[in-house]
Amino acid sequence: MNFLRNTIIKLVVALAILPFVSCTAHNSSEPQKPNIIVFFADDMAYADLSCYGNPNIRTPHIDKLAEEGLKLTSFYVAGPVCTPSRAALMSGRYPIHTLPGNLGPNSKNGFPSEELIIPEVLKTAGYKSMAIGKWHLGHATKELMPTGKGFDKFYGLPYSNDMIKPWVDTDVPLKLYIDDKAVKTVDYDQESLTNDFTTEAIKFINETKDQPFFLYVPYSMPHLPISTNDQFKGTSEGGLYGDVIENIDWSVGEIMNALKAANIDDNTLIVFTSDNGPWHELPDRMLAKGVEPWHQGTTGPLRGSKASTYEGGMRVPGIFYWKNEIPAGQVSSDIVTTMDIFPTLLEIAGIKKPANKEFDGVNILPFLKREAKSPRTEFFYLKGKTIEAVREGEWKLRYSNERREDAGLTLYDPIEMELYNMKHDVGEKHNVAELYPEIAERLMNKMKAKAKEINARISKPKKQPKKK
């Protein structure tokens, strides 16, 4: 009887746990959610890559991503300088909602605690995440650092690599951080930064390859001061700047090799872009300790550069690669922005939008798979808390009090409306506002409505100082 009773008990227990065993087996056989890597260069110009037309700089690894994925020619960041651009990428919102201006070594603020960013939301779907490189989104407290905003790990700098003397008047030393702890001082010897970031990225991939991960690699270069190691010095036809870009390209190649070695390259979405255009018209403070005026990238066919709402300041390289998901060899001039990445990642990871999360970005997954056009039809160019331009389809209206010496204007003169056709005049050389006044007026009204909606400003001429 005891034998029969024990047999019955074992049978009952086996039947009871069978659903759980089946469920576990089913889950283990489910395909892993896609991994995500976002490469975010610092101050890299639209035409710094050979796949975007640079004749002197070789970028075969990044070019391969473009050849085997999707290359965008109207890809925008939402801020023309570092912090706002990064804030828009991480939050999926125009930076006026979070961090509209650059942070410095003495800054005490950062992302609002209630603002959800990419790693915080991906974590709910089982993603591990790491940021490697330049953060520049708050550092005064542990809560403002990457590991306080959802990243499991961090290796890098809290802000730009020039934020030390003699380039910036500060006594705060620039530190390299591991997670939320400073581990060493970074002064002028920055030659190994890109290689060090690469080593940490490969290490993270190898440690995390068995679960979905989000890897954010915001390189510190080619932001000034630029430097690279002996492996790349003098190897490009683009001078030291070209050497630095080719070092970054090598880094991308090494990280892609690590994905392939881990057999996860076909289940990883790759995004490569830059935070804004190149740093032209350098302030005098930067021309010190070996920094030269020609240590800068080229905007190619675009007008303007970093800190400008002309195309050269906010139109950047945009490459999306996802083997077997994004058709190879695609080039598109559809409008897409870094703000669109976050809502797209939610779709890819199978996550519903949190009830308390707002987006200015849109889901572009059907567009990436070439199943539809980009859902984005308009884009507003913000500088600080001012809307200076809007693009709608092929038309761009710009209304800014930025000094226009080439037109003989000063900051005190009335502001002219600048209307450009992005299909025929990507270099913004021909203002056709007088030829198409109804289009200019309609876009001006659109800018005013958006400014009212998000509590932004519209440019005004400066008042003449009163004569004494």
Compute the distance between CA of residue 325 and CA of residue 39 in angstroms, rounded to an integer: 19
Pick from 456, 424, 468: nearest CA to 95: 456
pLDDT at residue 30 in the model: 67
The 3-state DSSP composition of the chain as helix, strand, coil percent (nearest 5) reads: 30, 15, 50
Pick from 426, 460, 423, 419: nearest CA to 442: 419
Compute the distance between CA of residue 153 and CA of residue 51 in angstroms, rounded to an integer: 32
Domain spanning 35-376, CATH class: alpha beta
Q: Where are the alpha helices (DSSP H) in 110-238?
A: 118-122, 193-208
Predicted confidence pLDDT, tens digits, the chain (468 residues): 444 444 443 333 333 333 333 333 334 456 789 999 999 999 999 999 999 999 999 999 999 999 999 999 999 999 999 999 999 999 999 999 999 999 999 999 999 999 999 999 999 999 999 999 999 999 999 999 999 999 999 999 999 999 999 999 999 999 999 999 999 999 888 999 999 999 999 999 999 999 999 999 999 999 999 999 999 999 999 999 999 999 999 999 999 999 999 999 999 999 999 999 999 989 999 999 999 999 999 999 999 999 999 999 999 999 999 999 999 999 999 999 999 999 999 999 999 999 999 999 999 999 999 999 999 999 999 999 999 999 999 999 999 988 665 667 777 888 999 999 999 999 999 999 999 999 999 999 999 999 999 999 999 887 777 766
- Answer whether 376's CB lies under 8 Å from 387's CB: no
Q: The tokens 């975007």 sit on which residue?
A: 52
How is 151-178 classified by DSSP, letter by letter?
-SEEEEESS-TT-STTTS---SPPEEEE
For the chain, residues classed under CATH 3.30.1120.10 are 385-458
pLDDT at residue 461 in the model: 84
CATH number of the structural domain 385-458:
3.30.1120.10
- What is the greatest pairwise CA distance in the chain? 113
Compute the distance between CA of residue 400 and CA of residue 391 in angstroms, rounded to an integer: 14
Compute the distance between CA of residue 332 and CA of residue 367 in angstroms, rounded to an integer: 10
pLDDT at residue 140 in the model: 96
List phi, psi (to 5°) of 213: -140, 155
Compute the distance between CA of residue 52 and CA of residue 245 in angstroms, rounded to an integer: 13
pLDDT at residue 8 in the model: 42
Q: Residue 352 burial by CB count (10 A; 0-12/13-18/19+): exposed, middle or buried?
A: exposed
Question: Angle formed by the axes of helices 193-208 and 239-261, to 10°?
Answer: 10
For the chain, residues classed under CATH 3.40.720.10 are 35-376
List phi, psi (to 5°) of 244: -65, -45
Angle ∠(381,382,386) on CA atoms, nearest 5: 130
Contacts of 77 (CB under 8 A, 6+ apart): 85, 88, 89, 273, 274, 275, 276, 314, 316, 337, 338
Paired with 214 in beta bridges are 36, 129
Catalytic site positions: 82, 136
Q: Decide: pTM greater than 0.75.
A: yes
